[in-house]
């Protein structure tokens, strides 16, 4: 579950819940790098599902990695891709739970000519992260798309196995090490899709105190920092790898009821919804509606295998389209679209990259990268 934060009760009016995108949609053939485009009008928006987005898309011969396939969006993302022919590798901390959660996905994969395999990964433990990456590197099979779906939200104050604040360590640093170690396996013309959130609006990253050693802990500020980091990581990765045709983007799935919200106080959640509904009523609009899981996973799938890579590279996407930057001096409400500029800032992205390398004790700078 991901909720947009309320920054101002009198924030800017939201757009219509469904965004109509008339685009030249990329329909993949068996050569991902030179995808075949069919000019067709597609209507994708907040209510679009994974099946809507993947209608007519053949993913046979594609290998796709999805983290966090034991519940929620990850399960649906993996299922939908495998059902359209992709060879999907899903990661999970609890493999037994993931096996149960992906039972339908296995059936759909078999029916659609795809496959779905599982591998253990605990993003809150860099020993596990490195072991999983090494196993995949040893197998030597390239990936066309990597979708970093796994994460935690609004957890009580705590630390990962390596001593990092839980949300920053799990949502950002775990994926930072995992993806960078796997970078040689991402095929030319491939993509990295980081699951972020409108929750990035809660806070920019704090590179001076990433583990709340001096700052009073707030679970949503910590969540905001980690989700901003997910976007900045996509920006930095995109700049470092686009010379070989690999692009990266971040996506916001929308408000969905999943296990992600298990740490939220139900009273606080209800208060947030009531506040949103009051604003919607004042604007003459219908009440807030949760997205279904297939609707929530649609933007990840759209960005991963449907949208033109040169259009989404280094960008933030939501409701199956590219999000617009909302200036800091403009109020933004819980139900509005948009991304804050600090989450796409190239200098901050590079600074976060360097700080992340320092924290994890590894360097991933590409020798052929030249700062813009």
Would you name the residues annotated as active-site residues?
223
Measured CA to CA, the distance from residue 234 to residue 220 in angstroms comes to 21
Tell me, what DSSP letter sits at residue 159? B
Tell me, what DSSP letter sits at residue 201? G
How is the beta sheet containing 87-92 ordered, strand by strand? 115-120, 87-92, 63-67, 143-148, 186-195, 247-252, 316-318, 321-322
Tell me, what DSSP letter sits at residue 124? T
Measured CA to CA, the distance from residue 163 to residue 363 in angstroms comes to 19
First to last CA, the chain: 36
- The DSSP result for 12-57, as a single string, is BPP--SS-------EE--S-GGG-EE-------STT--HHHHHTT-
User: In 3D, which of 112, 92, 115 has the Cα closest to residue 51?
Assistant: 112
Q: Would you call 256 helix, strand, or coil by DSSP?
A: strand
Which residues neighbour 151 within 8 Å (Cβ) at sequence distance 6 or greater? 68, 123, 170, 171, 195, 226, 260
Q: Please give the C-alpha separations between residue 51 and each of 54, 183, 347, in angstroms, as whole numbers.
A: 5, 29, 37
């Amino acid at each position: 579950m991901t909720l947009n934060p309320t920054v101002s009760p009198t924030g800017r009016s939201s757009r219509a819940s469904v965004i109509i995108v008339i685009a030249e949609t990329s329909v993949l053939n068996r050569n991902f790098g030179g995808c075949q485009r069919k000019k067709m009008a597609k209507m994708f928006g907040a209510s679009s599902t994974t099946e809507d987005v993947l209608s007519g898309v053949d993913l046979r011969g594609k290998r796709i990695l999805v983290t966090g396939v034991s519940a929620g969006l990850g399960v649906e993302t993996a299922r939908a891709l495998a059902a359209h022919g992709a060879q999907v590798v899903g990661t999970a901390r609890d493999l037994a739970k993931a096996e149960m959660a992906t039972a339908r996905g296995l059936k759909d994969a078999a029916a659609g000519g795809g496959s779905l395999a599982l591998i253990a990964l605990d993003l809150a433990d860099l020993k596990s992260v490195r072991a999983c990456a090494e196993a995949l590197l040893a197998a030597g099979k390239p990936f066309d798309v990597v979708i970093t779906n796994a994460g935690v939200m609004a957890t009580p104050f705590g630390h990962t196995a390596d001593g990092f604040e839980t949300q920053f360590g799990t949502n950002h640093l775990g994926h930072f090490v995992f993806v960078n170690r796997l970078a040689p396996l991402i095929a030319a013309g491939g993509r990295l899709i980081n699951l972020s959130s409108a929750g990035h609006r809660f806070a920019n990253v704090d590179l001076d105190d990433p583990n709340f050693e001096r700052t009073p802990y707030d679970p949503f500020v910590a969540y905001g920092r980690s989700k901003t980091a997910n976007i900045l990581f996509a920006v930095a990765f995109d700049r470092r790898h686009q010379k070989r045709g690999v692009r990266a983007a971040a996506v916001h799935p929308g408000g969905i009821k999943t296990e992600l919200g298990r740490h939220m106080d139900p009273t606080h959640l209800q208060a947030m919804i009531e506040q949103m509904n009051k604003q919607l009523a004042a604007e003459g609009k219908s009440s807030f509606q949760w997205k279904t899981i297939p609707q929530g996973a649609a933007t990840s799938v759209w960005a991963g295998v449907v949208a033109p890579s040169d259009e989404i590279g280094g960008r933030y996407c939501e409701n199956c389209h590219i999000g617009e930057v909302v200036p800091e001096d403009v109020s933004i409400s819980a139900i509005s679209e948009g991304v804050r500029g600090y989450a796409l800032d190239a200098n901050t992205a590079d600074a976060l990259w360097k700080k992340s390398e320092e924290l994890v004790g590894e360097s991933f700078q590409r020798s052929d990268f030249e700062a813009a």
